[in-house]
Chains A and B, each alone.
Chain A
Amino acid sequence: MNEDRLDRLRGLTAEAARSDGRLAESAERGAPAAGDLYVLSQTADFPVEWLLLDRAPDDPDRWLAVPADTNPLRGPGDLWVGPGQDGGPLSIRCRFAVRLPDRALGGGHRTGRVPAEHVARALEAVHDDERGTLEVSPLAEETAADPEYRDWERGVLDPTRKAVAGLASRQPMPEPARPTARVWISIAAALAVLSFGLGAWNLTLQRRVDRISAPVLIGGSQEIVVGSDVRAPAPLRVRQGDQRLLVFIVLSNEAADHERYRVELTDGRGTALWTSPDVEPGAVPELNLVIPGRFLDGPGAARQLVVFGIEGDHARPLAEVPIQIESTENAP
């Protein structure tokens, strides 16, 4: 990266940090007020802040509040605070209003303020939503049909509102919960596979692999991705008679924090044909694997790759990937 760009980014960051410091300082003063943004320990599992709009008309001990987040997708009843404005960029989700008791704010932190004009618009949208008269713009309607937006509603906004629903009751406040696993980043799920030992057959084959050390130019490659989004990646396909199979094993962000990795090639019964040594990934979270054709003999022969993450002495299976060996007779 060139030095000018680097300096510019560092300068922008410094200015943003200074501006944040000023906002945080001013937000710390005085009693809670309309326009204040809060983070609550009860919703620490979700990437939201709460915007206080007004005292609830039917209960002066509670605040009418709406969640706000930094996802730029905006559907029905969502308002946008731009990046140049106080508190922004933020999407204010007016269809997810709650009544927060004052005591809920005691377990949270005030984190900023939003300009009064946005608070007024949000309040109006909340009331419109309650009355069933919320006007939905054509673009918002379009976004509402977007599966990414629906995922956000279902995975973040609905559970966030549920998480604070209990606070609306007059029961004593529970102790603030310690942050647990975050829902927006799921941990790589373990798959139920067995770890297979290194047998004599495996050793024989490994010696053969060691002998294949001449440079090789390969015309095509395949890729598998290991991580929580792709617990069991799509099968690899290879044609009978191919000399080699080159596989890029991409470690998704959720699976990239293991100390080392191991890959095992098994037959259809789960017997290990070859086991790699434990390998540390580099700065780029990928593993490159070359499988000689002799490991993939026979049409219909069942083969499988098992990828393990290694921590200390513990090998954790991360993914198992079938390899389909196709007969050349099927070629178009």
Chain B
Amino acid sequence: MLTGVTTSRGDHGRPRAFTDYLQSLDTTGTPPSRQSFDRVWSALRTALRTELRLRSLWTSPPRFLGVIGSDRWDEETLDELTTDAYVFNFVHRLRSLKAQLEVKPNVEGLVLLNLKNFLYERQRRHDPLGARLFGTLRTAIRELVDAGELAVSQGDPEIRNHTVLRFPGSASESRGRTVEPESAPTLQELTADWGDDLLPELVTARGGRYDELVADLEGKIAGLRHQGCDGFSVKELVDPLKTAVRERWRALHVSAGQREGTAQASEGDDLFGDVRQRYRPDQEVEDAEAFEKLTDCVERQVLSLDSDERTEEYLSDIWHFLRIHAAGERDLPSRRKLAEQLEIPRNRFPQLYGVLGDLLERCRKLLFEPQARGNGGVQ
């Protein structure tokens, strides 16, 4: 039995809904008619919902896109996201969309492209761990495909959730379809301990260390063929891995009341509170520039410190940890857990927190207090 979701189609989602709307707007300050607004709202909501499903976000908590108040997508949460997507497209990007209409017959595709960019930015901001994991996995798979160790057998060759990959020469490839051998372990079982290996580098690694992380992941993926796996879809690999990494990350976190040495941890709490305050997860994607500037400044300052390489690495690791942690948590993990996770001696934390606190304050002044800029500036 095959059914459409509703019985009538109407004009919603027709190819020119967005273009017609933009062309109907006048420059006198008159609001768009209720009818035309409703039409474009409905089309936008539908397109958004489809994108969420394509990205496997439909089954994830809305907080991964910065929508809070419910653990699942419903009318209200989808309305909230659609409101932000509407502003992103038809308020902030109205000028650009109308500009493109000067040389294009319609901008339907461009609105959809904007939606994709909007969702990706939201994801990067509110689920940095998940976004970073997917990006790293995608890079590793691409490297393997380029090296001929893995082949795209179905789906988008750019490596998306629904791309299906096979190991060349595998039994399933010669039969032309994926069949898991009897008694072969599932992908979830095969990747169960990957989360332990990927953290904390997934959060802290940059430059050469990040390349090593990608290479490590490539090795793990390539090794799957020797464990009875002939092929897999990206979604099959990434979903359990995201769960494992998030659980591992969450395990770090304990409430303030549970931690030992509360007095010792206060310095870190102050610093984290400062980072969180400046991060402001409630901000719009495009208002987040101040935090980005601050991050850039702190990272540059760390690199320019007159300190040994190890201290520099510790400072950088803690800073990246704080950045990612600020996206989803209100409290710091205990110092013991943090020390274990980041592989930094516990007794170094007070000094490292102190240095980072000073750098943060210095950057804040340099960036946001004009009179301080004359004393060194920030590049």
Binding site for B on A (CB under 8 A): 1, 5-7, 9-24, 37, 39-41, 44, 47, 49, 70-73, 80, 82-83, 87-90, 108-109, 111-112, 135, 137-139, 141-142, 145-148, 151, 179, 182, 184-185, 209, 212, 223, 225, 227, 229-235, 250-253, 256-257, 261, 263, 276-277, 279-290, 300, 302, 322, 324, 326-327, 329-330, 332
Contact A13/B32 with A6-B37, A73-B121, A139-B299 known, Cβ cut-off 8 Å: yes
Q: Are B112 and A253 in contact (CB under 8 A)?
A: yes
Interface pair A70/B114, CB less than 8 Å apart: yes
Q: Which B24-80 residues have C-beta < 8 A from chain A?
A: 25-32, 34, 37, 41-42, 46-47, 49-51, 53-54, 79
The reply to whether B236 and A18 form a contact with Cβ atoms under 8 Å apart is no
Q: Is the CB of B142 within 8 A of A138?
A: no
The answer to whether A1 and B41 have CB atoms under 8 Å apart is yes
- Min CB distance, B148 to chain A, in Å? 19
Docked pose: A71 CA to B118 CA in angstroms: 8
Interface-located stretch among B5-13, B270-278, B328-336 = B5-13
Q: Say whether A10 contacts B31, CB under 8 Å.
A: yes
A179 to B2, CA, bound (A): 38
Please judge, given known A-B contacts A253-B47, A284-B5, whether A324 and B114 are in contact too, CB under 8 Å.
Answer: no
User: In residues 282-326 of chain B, which contact A (Cβ within 8 Å)?
Assistant: 285-287, 289, 292, 295-296, 299-300, 303
Can you list 8 A-B contacts (CB < 8 A)?
Answer: A9-B37, A13-B91, A13-B94, A71-B117, A72-B117, A89-B93, A285-B46, A324-B179
Query: Do residues B139 and A145 form an inter-chain contact, with CB atoms below 8 A?
Result: yes
Residues of A within 8 A of B46 (CB): 283-285
Contact pick for B183, options A44, A235, A330, CB 8 Å: A330
Q: Determine the distance from Cα of A283 to Cα of B263 in the docked complex, in whole angstroms.
A: 58
Are B94 and A225 in contact, with the CB atoms below 8 A?
Answer: no
Which chain B residues have a beta carbon within 8 Å of chain A's beta carbons? Answer: 1-10, 12-15, 25-32, 34, 37, 41-42, 46-47, 49-51, 53-54, 79, 83, 86-87, 90-96, 98-100, 102-105, 108-110, 112-114, 117, 120-121, 135, 138-139, 142, 154-156, 158-160, 162-164, 177-180, 182-183, 186, 206-207, 210, 233, 235-236, 285-287, 289, 292, 295-296, 299-300, 303, 379
In the complex with contacts A225-B54, A250-B50, A9-B109 CB distance below 8 A: no
Do residues A82 and B103 form an inter-chain contact, with CB atoms below 8 A?
Answer: no
Which listed residue, B112, B235, B299, touches A138 by the CB 8 Å rule? Answer: B299
* Residues of chain B with a CB closer than 8 A to A285's CB: 5, 13, 46, 50
The total of interchain contacts (Cβ-Cβ below 8 angstroms) comes to 263
Residue of A nearest to B186 (CB): A332
Contacts of B292 in A (CB 8 A): 139
CA distance A109 to B104 in the complex (A): 12
Q: How far is the CA of A101 from the CA of B100 in the complex (A)?
A: 21
